[in-house]
Amino acid sequence: MLCLEALEVCSDDVRESTEVDKAADSERRCTAEHEGRKKVFLKENGGVSVCRSDDKAANKRTDVSPSHARAQAGSCTRENVLMRPIYICAAGLQYLYLLRMEHIEFRLLSKINMRASFLQFDGRVHFVSQKRLFSLEGSPVENFEEECVVKPYSVEPCHSFYIRNNKIHLVHDHAPLFSLYINNIRTTVKDLKGVLYTPHNDSLIFYKSGLISVGGRKFEIKKINCLRVRKNRVIVGTGDGYVYIIRDKRLQKRVRLDDFPITSADLHRGTLFYSTLIGTVGKKRIQETRLYFLVLFFVLVFVLTVFKTNL
């Protein structure tokens, strides 16, 4: 099961429903095998939110057609997940897609004529479009084959939002200044690209194009393009294809994933999921440094014990 993340979208007090476009499904979905890899292409797709718990799928890579994209991988439960389909929310240049991925094939469930600029998930999908907030009614994995209802959530103009204590807090856009409320105190930030809330230490994370602030500590990272919070980790994707992992206010790892800008990245069970500017969706298994040293320590203790016994 995949947990989705969404963008805030807003229209006037209108509720819009879309049914599954079966004809568009066959048109937009095709599979091909190239250089030993199976790839999937979807027209106009802007990126996906992906989560799998099986390590065997970690080396599979899926390519999606070119588009500016933002996507974030969600969390999933370990039990009964290996054979379940993956549900995906994808933001394209013109549409918001709701997809289901079975093995390596994408199936189009719904296509919403809205261009989303920011998305998050807290039990339902929220997204921003034209500086207004929208949400998808109901669970993202229920009844998508029948209909998808878009509900106007707020008519108040906003740039993005963050979710704290089950409440949505809007970030208002008065470019180049952005205002938001922290502990009921209005704060103004200049040239802000995004803000996320991390429940691990009850703090907000700000980021600009070359600077990120985590719990009051600043990191200079060039070409910041996307940000994701996963428990006590902050995953940062950059415009030159790198992903930085910050853990407990320390830079833990820097990984080169692609030659193209990273538009989304997430870490789940030791696997980095990411998407790029041209629509590529990939996975990369990374090694936990802390776990590596722990294993090395136990091996060293075992060798010393055997050596002393032989003496």
| 127, 155, 182, 195 from 249: Cα distances, Å | 28, 36, 20, 16
- Asked if residue 125 belongs to a domain, the reply is yes
Domain-terminating residue out of 114, 148, 167: 167
Q: pLDDT-based confidence at 65, cuts 50/70/90?
A: very low
- pLDDT value at 102 more than 50: yes
Strand 250-256 to 262-268 pairing: unpaired
* 146 and 232 part of one domain: no
* 210 and 296 part of one domain: yes
The DSSP secondary structure of 133-178, one letter per residue, reads: EEEE-S-TTSSTTT-EEEEEEE-S--SEEEEETTEEEEEEEETTEE
* 148 and 249 part of one domain: no
* 161 and 237 part of one domain: no
* 240 and 299 part of one domain: yes
* 262 and 299 part of one domain: yes
* 216 and 304 part of one domain: yes
The DSSP secondary structure of 29-69, one letter per residue, reads: -EEEEETTEEEEE-TT----------GGGGG--EE--S---
Residue among 70, 84, 102, 77 at smallest CA distance from 6: 70
Count CA atoms closer than 13 A to 187's CA, side-chain side. 14
Q: pLDDT-based confidence at 243, cuts 50/70/90?
A: very high
Q: When comparing pLDDT for 148 and 257, which is higher?
A: 257
Q: Does residue 82 come out as left (phi exceeding 0), alpha (psi in the -120 to 50 range) or beta?
A: alpha
Q: When comparing pLDDT for 238 and 310, which is higher?
A: 238
Question: For the domain that residue 253 is a member of, what is the CATH number?
Answer: 2.130.10.10
- Asked if residue 64 belongs to a domain, the reply is no
* 146 and 235 part of one domain: no
Whole-angstrom distance, CA of residue 191 vs CA of residue 207: 9
Whole-angstrom distance, CA of residue 38 vs CA of residue 163: 37
Which residues are CB-neighbours of 186 under 8 A, at least 6 positions away?
A: 179, 180
- pLDDT value at 63 more than 50: no
Q: Which of 63-72, 144-153, 263-272 has the highest mean pLDDT?
A: 263-272
What is the rounded average pLDDT of the residues 145-162?
A: 72
Q: How far is CA 24 from the centre of its chain?
A: 25
Domain-terminating residue out of 167, 184, 208: 167
Q: Look over the chain and give the mean of its residue pLDDT values, rounded to a whole number.
A: 66
Q: Does residue 46 come out as left (phi exceeding 0), alpha (psi in the -120 to 50 range) or beta?
A: alpha
What single DSSP character describes residue 261? P
What is the rounded average pLDDT of the residues 262-266?
A: 84
- Asked if residue 35 belongs to a domain, the reply is no
- pLDDT value at 253 more than 80: yes
* 290 and 218 part of one domain: yes
What is the rounded average pLDDT of the residues 178-185?
A: 73
Query: What is the amino acid identity at position 268?
Result: H
Instruction: Give residue 115's domain range.
Output: 84-167
- Asked if residue 29 belongs to a domain, the reply is no
- Asked if residue 6 belongs to a domain, the reply is no
| pLDDT, position 78 | 41
- Asked if residue 178 belongs to a domain, the reply is no
* 200 and 302 part of one domain: yes
Q: When comparing pLDDT for 150 and 18, which is higher?
A: 150
What single DSSP character describes residue 80? T
* 205 and 272 part of one domain: yes
- Asked if residue 12 belongs to a domain, the reply is no
Q: Above pLDDT 90, what percent of the chain? A: 1
* 213 and 150 part of one domain: no
Claim: this prediction has a pTM higher than 0.85? no
Q: Which of 98-107, 147-156, 161-170 has the highest mean pLDDT?
A: 161-170
Which residues are CB-neighbours of 55 under 8 A, at least 6 positions away?
A: 269, 271, 285
Q: When comparing pLDDT for 13 and 98, which is higher?
A: 98
- Asked if residue 50 belongs to a domain, the reply is no
Q: How many domains does the chain have?
A: 2
Q: pLDDT-based confidence at 84, cuts 50/70/90?
A: low
